Amino acid sequence: MLAQSPVRTAVIILIAIIVVLLAALAAWTRLKAREIEALYPPTGEMIDVGGYKLHAVHVPRPVGADLPPLVFIHGASGNLLDQAVPFRPRFEGRAEMLFIDRPGHGWSERGGTANDTPDGQADAIAAAMKAKGISSAIIIGHSFGGAIAASFALAHPQMTAGLVFLAPATHSWPGGIAWYYGLTQTPLIGPLFANTLALPAGLSRLESGSACVFAPNPTPGDYISTTAPALVLRPGAFRNNAIDVANLKPYVTRIAPRYPEIKSPTVIITGDSDSVVLAHIHSEGLARDIEGSELVWIRNLGHKPDHVTTDLAVRAIEKVAGKDVDLKAAAATAEAALAADDASCQG
């Protein structure tokens, strides 16, 4: 029997090492994902939306409410806590609220392939609203949630009392997406990457990544612990998030020409220092496409008006609800508070 060549032996040993390493990473990922889930358990209820369930926090309409129902849609890599943390305390006693984990995010089930694009997710949110007896609401969408909010208004105009877009991603943009989104959404390599390397790599960048999303504004000290962004690093959620992001550009390229059909009262809040979405494409595009909408530009604001300029967002929601609000004055106050912010992004 002929002996194996040294090269072949080395290759076999290398392959064996890689297999063992991947198996170890997969086992570690499963354990770490369980730790993350134990740290951030569900905080709401599971709502059946037709064959699958969405996790949501529903705040019933209070006695003496002065605002219509409010429905909040989080962005990519997030969950309902990202909107509930800044907004729930501000609207307690004033409005019925629904904070939803988008399909396949947080604790929500993914549902079918219809939820791979914003229109399917908009339909899922509409179904959740109906299940809770909400016939119409102001829809608030941050970032990726902006594309869903716009799709919601197109598909369910009778359920859309108004729209507030916060740093929205709604139009086609030059260039592509981060390499790991493209890799993760592929059929074979994607699940392998999500189940082995994504979680340890993501945990190592959780703080720096959050800093880049907020920059030039500082990240709140308790942001990671209170909004649980680590939930997106679990293999299933990570892959769902990648599919969402990979499908966004072709989807908005197709759907954006329909935005002029939107007739709901609309306010768009955006920052001139947003490094995540190009405000002059997305926010200005919405202001151009939705007749009667109001665009509020904030100097030195990054991608998180929901957390950084919460007061301004509250005022925008009030204005969409029909209250007499001076958004220019509110914007000036917000800008003054941010003038000295110079937090850096090291991502």
Predicted pLDDT of residue 13: 83
State mean pLDDT over 79-99.
98
Label residue 52 by pLDDT band (50, 70, 90): very high
- Structure tokens given for 152: 């919601």
State mean pLDDT over 48-75.
97
Quick check: 347 pLDDT over 70? no
Neighbours of 281 (CB within 10 A): 15
What range defines the domain where residue 322 resides? Answer: 40-338
Q: Is residue 166 part of a domain?
A: yes
Label residue 91 by pLDDT band (50, 70, 90): very high
Neighbours of 201 (CB within 10 A): 12
State mean pLDDT over 139-157.
98
Neighbours of 290 (CB within 10 A): 24
Q: Is residue 1 part of a domain?
A: no
Q: Write the pLDDT tens digit of every residue in 281-295.
A: 999 999 999 999 999
Q: Is residue 132 part of a domain?
A: yes
- Angle of helix 118-131 relative to helix 235-255, nearest 10 degrees? 110
Alpha-carbon separation of residue 332 from 7, 116, 165, 296, 298 (angstroms):
69, 39, 19, 10, 8
Predicted pLDDT of residue 4: 62
The number of domains in the chain is 1
- Angle (CA) 266-57-221 rounded to 5° is 80
Of all residues in the chain, the percent with pLDDT exceeding 70 is 98
Q: Is residue 26 part of a domain?
A: no
State mean pLDDT over 127-153.
98
3-state secondary structure of 76: coil
Label residue 1 by pLDDT band (50, 70, 90): very low
Predicted pLDDT of residue 157: 98
Of all residues in the chain, the percent with pLDDT exceeding 90 is 93
3-state secondary structure of 225: helix
Q: Write the pLDDT tens digit of every residue in 247-273.
A: 999 999 999 999 999 999 999 999 999
- Structure tokens given for 317: 């929601």
Predicted pLDDT of residue 147: 98
CATH number for the domain that contains residue 129: 3.40.50.1820
- Structure tokens given for 38: 């134990």
Helices in 45-159 by DSSP H: which ranges? 81-91, 118-131, 144-155
Predicted pLDDT of residue 87: 98
Predicted pLDDT of residue 223: 98
Q: Write the pLDDT tens digit of every residue in 198-233.
A: 999 999 999 999 999 999 999 999 999 999 999 999
pTM: 0.95
What are the strands of the beta sheet with 266-271, ordered from one edge? 45-48, 53-59, 97-100, 70-73, 137-142, 160-166, 266-271, 294-298
Q: Is residue 347 part of a domain?
A: no
Quick check: 3 pLDDT over 90? no
Quick check: 2 pLDDT over 70? no
Q: Is residue 35 part of a domain?
A: no
Q: Is residue 44 part of a domain?
A: yes
Q: Is residue 62 part of a domain?
A: yes
